[in-house]
Amino acid sequence: MKIIMLGAPGAGKGTQARMISEKYGIPQISTGDIFRANIRNETELGKKAKSYMDQGLLVPDELTLDLVVDRLAQDDCAGGYILDGFPRTIPQAEALTGALKEQNTKIDFAIDVEVPDDNIVQRMSGRRACPKCGATYHIRYNPPQQDGICDGCGAELIQREDDKAETVQKRLTVYHSQTQPLIEYYKEQGCMHSVDGTRTMEEVFGDICALLG
């Protein structure tokens, strides 16, 4: 069972990927994890990726694909995997399709967790984090007992730069221009499915499990 998770930043696809991984016993794979593992293990691919990252540059698609394909060849992926955050663009998707075709395999399910932009801005801009112990809150859905103060350690909560409304809006603009076209691409591949991401985490997961069988 080979799965790609799609959805805007903040749609909850990472959480759903983790739950799928636990239920079906297949690894959740993100490019960030792959980069970190290869850099930590000082592999040839990791050294190449680090040379770009150290300069503040994006790792080129070709190298990213090599890293992903190398990861998918590992034993724990024999029964399937969940790609979370890759591919992000049509060229990446086409390259992945080509690489999998060479191995006589393909993606079985591309799952889009659909959430309107307004909901995402509300979700993410309401997040608050404790800089001391790492606890996270939401001013509407999971507020601290005392406004602006961490329940656990009493530190003053902060709003991360990534969670500010204007930053979220910029990330959504990038998503719509670069990543959303993947939905049409995977529709043409015949493996695209969408779920309503505005429902509870458990309800969304139930919808995904019904798709996967």
Catalytic residue IDs: 13, 88, 127, 160, 171
Alpha helices in the chain (DSSP H): 13-24, 31-40, 44-54, 61-72, 90-102, 117-125, 165-174, 181-189, 201-212
Q: Determine contact, residues 2/108, Cβ cutoff 8 Å.
A: yes
- State the pairing for strand pair 136-138/127-129: antiparallel
What DSSP element (H or E) covers 196?
strand 192-196
